[in-house]
C-alpha cells in the first residue's frame, strides 16, 4: 500500500467512530471522540510517538529531536466533524502528519526541534455551537463563560468535560506556551474549488479569513395586506430583500464573500404586511481591512435604501475574529515543500473557512498547506481527495518540515 493510500484508508477507517451508522458525525467529548482519539493514538505510537490526551481532549503524539525537551514543531488538524460530514475535513491533516513522522523516522532525532502531531478535539463547534474549543484551550484562550454552553440535550460543557473524564478546573493545563513551540503547520483540504479550477494539487495559504457577523434589523409597519395601498406601506421584508440582493451584488463585485443565512419575519401572517425582518450577515475577506471596508460600504447603502423606504434600520455585531496572516518564513517552508512535490510556482490562496491555525496563531507562527478537494465539496459526505494529491501533499509536508529545520 502506498503511503497516500494508507492515509486515505485511515481517514475513512475513522468514519466508524460516528454518532450514527448512517452518516458521519463525531462531536466534542462524545464516545466517538474518545474512540477516534484512541485509534489515532495507536497509529501515532506505530509511528514511534509518545502519546497523551491533554486537559481539553486534544490527542497528541511527540518524537524528541536531537535532545529531549526541545521546543516542538507542531503538525496537525482536527478530528471532530460537522453533522453528515465527509471523511477528510480535519482528519486528513492529522493522518498526513502522522505519515510524515513515520517517514522521517530516525531523522527526527537529528532535528533541532521535537516534532509533535495534534488531533484537535473541537474545531467545528457542532455540539456546543462554539467553534475552535480544542485549539482555544491549547492557545490558552479558554473563556470561563463557555462552561455554561449547552448541547442539544441540555448538558453543559462543564458536565460534558466531567463525563469524558476531564476536569473542568484543569483546562488551563492544555495551554501551550510560545517558548514550547517552533510553529504550527496544518495540511487541510481546500474546501473550495480554486485549486481544482487551476488544475493544481497543492496551495500555499496566505491568510485565514476572520469573519464578522451581524444581525440586521429592518422595521416597518404591520398592516392589512388588502387594505393598505402601496404609497402607505412600509414593508420590512421588501426592504430586507432589497438589502440582501444589494449585499450579494456588492460582494460579487469584490474579493469578499457575504452570506445571509437566516431571516425571520414578524408578525409572519400571510395577510399581514411584514412589520419587521431580522437577518444575519456573515462577511469574510483575505484581510481585515478589505472586510471592514466592505462592511462600511454595505452598512451605508442599506441604511440609505431603508431610509428611502421609510424603514428603520439597526445592526448588532454578533461575532468578530481577526484574519490570521500566515508567517512569511513558515510559508516559505511550505512553498519549498510544494516545489519538492513538483510545483515550483505554487498557487497562493486565502482560506475562506476558519481553521485551528486562527487560534494557534496567537501563540506561535502558523502556515497551511491546502490540498485540492474533489469538486470543491466539503462539509458533505461527498467530500473526496485524489490519491495523487495526497501523495504530493506528503512529499510537500515532509519537505516543509525539513525546510523548517534548515531555518531553525
Ligand atoms: Zn476543518
Tell which of 269, 302, 321 closes a domain. 321
Peptide bond before residue 39 is cis, with ω within 30 degrees of 0: no
Q: How far is the CA of 12 from the centre of ligand 1 (A)?
A: 15
Same domain, 154 and 33: yes
| 272 Cα to the center of ligand 1, angstroms | 43
The CATH number of the domain where 225 resides is what?
A: 3.30.70.360
| 93 CA distance to ligand 1 middle (Å) | 9
Contacts of 178 (CB under 8 A, 6+ apart): 363, 364
How far does the centroid of ligand 1 lie from the alpha carbon of residue 124, in Å? Answer: 7
| Residues 328 and 315 placed together within one structural domain of the fold | no
pLDDT of residue 372: 97
150 with 251, same domain: the answer is: no
Q: Of 274, 295, 321, at which residue does a domain stop?
A: 321
Residues 311 and 377 in one domain: no
Average pLDDT, 10 consecutive residues per value, the chain (408 residues): 96 97 97 98 98 98 98 98 97 98 98 98 95 97 96 97 98 98 98 97 96 96 97 97 98 96 97 98 96 98 98 95 96 98 97 96 98 94 97 98 96
Which residues span the domain enclosing 289? 210-321
Q: How far is the CA of 221 from the centre of ligand 1 (A)?
A: 43
Q: What is the pLDDT of residue 80?
A: 98
Report pTM: 0.92
Distance 353 CA to ligand 1 centre (A): 8
* Domain boundary pick from 275, 305, 321: 321
Query: Which cell numbers hold the place of 26?
Result: 463525531
How far apart are the CA of 55 and the centre of ligand 1, in A? Answer: 21
Cα 193 to middle of ligand 1, angstroms? 15
Structural domain count of the chain: 2
Same domain, 339 and 193: yes
Q: What gap in Å lies between CA 408 and CA 405, rounded to an integer?
A: 5
| pLDDT reported for residue 264 | 97
Whether the CB-CB separation of 237 and 248 falls below 8 Å is answered with: no
Q: Give me the residues near ligand 1 (ion), CB cutoff below 5 Å.
A: 89-90
Spatial contact of 74 and 118, defined as CB atoms under 8 Å apart: yes
Amino acid at each position: 500500500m502506498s503511503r497516500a493510500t494508507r492515509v486515505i484508508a485511515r481517514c475513512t477507517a475513522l468514519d466508524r467512530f460516528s454518532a450514527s451508522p448512517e452518516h458521519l458525525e463525531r462531536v466534542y467529548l462524545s464516545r466517538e471522540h474518545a474512540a477516534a482519539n484512541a485509534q489515532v493514538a495507536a497509529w501515532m505510537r506505530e509511528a514511534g510517538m509518545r502519546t497523551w490526551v491533554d486537559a481539553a481532549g486534544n490527542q497528541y503524539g511527540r518524537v524528541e529531536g536531537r535532545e529531549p525537551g526541545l521546543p516542538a514543531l507542531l503538525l496537525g488538524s482536527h478530528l471532530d466533524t460537522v453533522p453528515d460530514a465527509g471523511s477528510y475535513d480535519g482528519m486528513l491533516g492529522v493522518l498526513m502528519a502522522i505519515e510524515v513522522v513515520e517517514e522521517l523516522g530516525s531523522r527526527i532525532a537529528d532535528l533541532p526541534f521535537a516534532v509533535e502531531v495534534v488531533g484537535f478535539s473541537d474545531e467545528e463547534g457542532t455540539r456546543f455551537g462554539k467553534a475552535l474549543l480544542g485549539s482555544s484551550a491549547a492557545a490558552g484562550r479558554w473563556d470561563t463563560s463557555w462552561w455554561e454552553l449547552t448541547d442539544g440535550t441540555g448538558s453543559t460543557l462543564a458536565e460534558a468535560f466531567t463525563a469524558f473524564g476531564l476536569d473542568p478546573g484543569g483546562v488551563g493545563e492544555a495551554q501551550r506556551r510560545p517558548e514550547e513551540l517552533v510553529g504550527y503547520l496544518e495540511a487541510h483540504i481546500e474546501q473550495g474549488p480554486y485549486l481544482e479550477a487551476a488544475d493544481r494539487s497543492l496551495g500555499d495559504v496566505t491568510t485565514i479569513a476572520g469573519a464578522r457577523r451581524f444581525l440586521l434589523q429592518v422595521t416597518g409597519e404591520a398592516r392589512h395586506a388588502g387594505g393598505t395601498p402601496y404609497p402607505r406601506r412600509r414593508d420590512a421584508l421588501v426592504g430586507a430583500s432589497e438589502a440582501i440582493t444589494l449585499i450579494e451584488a456588492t460582494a460579487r463585485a469584490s474579493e469578499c464573500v457575504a452570506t445571509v443565512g437566516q431571516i425571520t419575519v414578524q408578525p409572519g401572517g400571510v395577510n399581514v404586511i411584514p412589520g419587521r425582518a431580522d437577518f444575519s450577515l456573515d462577511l469574510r475577506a483575505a484581510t481585515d481591512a478589505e472586510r471592514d471596508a466592505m462592511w462600511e460600504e454595505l452598512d451605508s447603502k442599506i441604511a440609505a435604501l431603508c431610509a428611502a423606504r421609510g424603514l428603520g434600520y439597526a445592526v448588532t455585531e454578533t461575532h468578530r475574529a481577526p484574519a490570521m496572516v500566515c508567517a512569511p518564513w513558515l510559508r516559505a517552508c511550505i512553498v519549498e515543500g510544494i516545489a519538492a512535490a513538483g510545483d515550483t510556482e505554487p498557487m497562493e490562496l486565502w482560506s475562506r473557512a476558519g481553521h485551528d491555525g486562527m487560534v494557534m496563531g496567537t501563540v506561535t507562527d502558523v502556515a497551511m498547506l491546502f490540498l485540492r478537494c474533489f469538486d470543491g465539496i466539503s462539509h458533505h459526505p461527498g467530500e473526496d481527495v485524489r490519491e495523487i494529491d495526497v501523495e504530493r501533499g506528503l512529499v510537500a509536508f515532509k519537505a516543509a518540515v525539513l525546510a523548517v529545520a534548515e531555518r531553525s
